[in-house]
């Protein structure tokens, strides 16, 4: 009888351990699934915020130029566009005038470009020049991408209208 009682106690204790192990595994799987779902939701929210910020920046640039795009409709405010282009033209003219005057004097100093020319010496910092060219390249690429996006949107809008 003692042997039977001891055997039953041992069997019941082992079966109890198995249930705890199974419960622990199930809880770990559940926790992992909840964590994965929360991570996916967080990533989706972050991506949506980034896209919203990017679209606001693009719209802000275009609205400065007098171009608004809403629900497949492009509106060009010619007064705003003309004012933007006039302002851009004035800025370019003042910069060109300054460069022209400096060239006539024989003095050129562009700190961000790394080039300094005076009557006696020409100094070129290749690291700064390289950085400037990389920055210009990125700006030109971004500008080209904006025009590409606008042309694609215009193309899809015209194809939807037909």
Mean pLDDT of 13-37: 73
Mean pLDDT of 110-130: 73
Candidate from 71-75, 80-84, 144-148 with smallest mean pLDDT: 71-75
Q: Is the dihedral of CA 92, 94, 95, 96 positive or negative?
A: positive
Spatial contact of 58 and 50, defined as CB atoms under 8 Å apart: no
Burial class from Cβ neighbours inside 10 Å (0-12, 13-18, 19+) for residue 102 reads middle
Candidate from 15-24, 48-57, 90-99 with smallest mean pLDDT: 15-24
- Predicted TM-score (pTM) of this structure: 0.36
105 pLDDT more than 60: yes
């Amino acid at each position: 009888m003692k042997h039977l009682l001891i055997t039953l106690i041992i069997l019941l204790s082992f079966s109890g351990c198995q249930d705890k192990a199974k419960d622990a595994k199930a809880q770990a799987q559940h926790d992992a699934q909840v964590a994965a779902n929360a991570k996916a939701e967080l990533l989706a929210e972050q991506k949506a915020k980034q896209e919203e910020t990017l679209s606001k920046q693009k719209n802000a640039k275009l609205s400065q130029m007098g171009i608004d795009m809403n629900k497949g409709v492009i509106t060009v405010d010619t007064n705003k566009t003309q004012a933007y282009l006039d302002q851009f033209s004035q800025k370019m003219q003042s910069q060109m005038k300054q460069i022209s005057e400096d060239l006539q004097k024989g003095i050129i100093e562009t700190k961000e470009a790394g080039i300094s020319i005076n009557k006696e010496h020409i100094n070129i910092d290749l690291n700064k020049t390289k950085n400037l060219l990389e920055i210009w390249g990125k700006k030109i690429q971004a500008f080209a991408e904006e025009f590409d996006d606008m042309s694609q949107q215009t193309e899809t809008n015209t194809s939807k209208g037909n």
